[in-house]
Amino acid sequence: MGHYRQLTREERYQIAALKGLGYTQRQIAREIGRSPSTISRELRRNQGIEGYQAETAQRVADRRRREARKCHKRIPELIAWVEARLRDDWSPKQIAGSLKEAGYPLVSHEWIYRHIERAQKAGGDLYKHLRHRRKRYRKRYGSQERRGRIIDRVGIEERPAVVEERSRIGDWEGDTVRGRGQSALVTLVERKSRQVVIQKVARATAEQTAAAIIDRLGAFDGLVKTMTLDNGKEFAYHKQIAEALGCDVYFARPYHSWERGANENMNGLIRQYFPKGTDFDQVTDEEIAEVERKLNLRPRKCLSYRAPIEVFCDGPHWQDTITGGVAVIG
């Protein structure tokens, strides 16, 4: 099969003349020796308000080629920026959506996936940064709670309705992520911004879990209004947490994980870095802090492709940090 050849000025004059005589697209294609799809594309892309005019069509085609050449000059910088975001573990949809929101040339997530595939065939490792779907154990909804009662537990049904609206900063959800060793991760997610705090504890006891929560959220003065927790016994010291942080603590219903949806989703993202079976005894605080940083800088579709840290702090958009080649894309 031969390569596609651009239409010439003379061919465009022929197309205009034959169209004026009432020829169909197939008849025009046959007359000038082109495929019907070429004629259809030409009329669709280069037809003006007053119909198809050869000179107008030629100007439009010339301008498109000039813009394409400019775009090709920028492609290396654009690709470098996209690859850097992939290595920060942004998904192709997050990258494409962020570029669109920032007003930069649109790059579709399909194109990014194709680029990753081409790189993989060439021996690249970008594919390793894609999130893989894993089968997850589904708890049996309605099953009897076997983890014991938490004293003075306040159920989610008593939580103020404003928390459900996600209209303010300060409503948190909490859980733990376990591994093979004695250590565990305490994960806390702010509902509106999806800002995450991850803290390792040597053992997931109620004392250590409460201390971790108080230590980390104590730095957010005035930004902790409520907390909705899982029913694990590690949260038995909830009254101490409430008193230290000046917040109200509620508990989701047993096996109703969707009532802490932001936290459940975030734990899934954390598992991208620390798969099930990870021995957290062997994971350093620095490694955990880096994962926390990446997740808080990663744009989210639910935030209109803003980053959690941006929404939480109401600070400058991440695009202000773009430097080098990407800054010329516009």
| Beta carbons within 10 angstroms of residue 305's beta carbon | 20
In the predicted model, what is the mean pLDDT of the chain? 83
Task: Tell whether the model's pLDDT for residue 242 goes beyond 80.
Answer: yes
Task: Tell whether the model's pLDDT for residue 325 goes beyond 50.
Answer: no
Tens-digit pLDDT profile for residues 33-77: 998 888 988 888 888 777 888 888 888 888 777 665 555 555 777
Name, in order, each residue with C-beta under 8 angstroms of 188's C-beta and a sequence gap of 6 or more.
172, 173, 174, 196, 197, 198, 199, 213, 216, 217, 227, 263
CB neighbour burial string for 233-242, b if at least 16 within 10 angstroms, e if fewer: ebbbbbebbb
Q: Please tell me the predicted confidence (pLDDT) of residue 106.
A: 61
Q: Please tell me the predicted confidence (pLDDT) of residue 323.
A: 31
pLDDT, mean of residues 72-85:
76
Residue 166: pLDDT band (50, 70, 90) is: very high
Residue 23: pLDDT band (50, 70, 90) is: very high
pLDDT, mean of residues 189-212:
95
Residue 318: pLDDT band (50, 70, 90) is: very low
pTM, rounded to two decimals: 0.58
Tens-digit pLDDT profile for residues 8-21: 888 999 999 898 88
Pick 148 or 152 by higher pLDDT: 152
Amino acid at 170: G
**Contacts of 262-266 spanning 24+ positions with Cβ under 8 A:** 262/173, 262/189, 262/190, 262/191, 262/194, 263/173, 263/174, 263/175, 263/187, 263/188, 263/189, 263/230, 264/175, 266/187, 266/189, 266/194, 266/196, 266/295
* Contact criterion met (CB below 8 Å) for 184 and 210: no
Pick 98 or 234 by higher pLDDT: 234
pLDDT, mean of residues 80-92:
88
Tens-digit pLDDT profile for residues 256-315: 888 898 999 999 999 999 998 899 999 999 999 999 999 999 999 889 889 999 999 874
Task: Tell whether the model's pLDDT for residue 2 goes beyond 50.
Answer: no
Residue 321: pLDDT band (50, 70, 90) is: very low
Task: Tell whether the model's pLDDT for residue 97 goes beyond 70.
Answer: yes
Q: Please tell me the predicted confidence (pLDDT) of residue 197.
A: 96
Residue 131: pLDDT band (50, 70, 90) is: confident
Tell me which range, 55-69, 82-96, 147-161, 203-217, is most confidently predicted by mean pLDDT. Answer: 203-217
Most distant CA pair in the chain: distance in Å? 88
Sign of the Cα torsion 51, 54, 60, 65 reads: positive
Q: Please tell me the predicted confidence (pLDDT) of residue 273.
A: 93
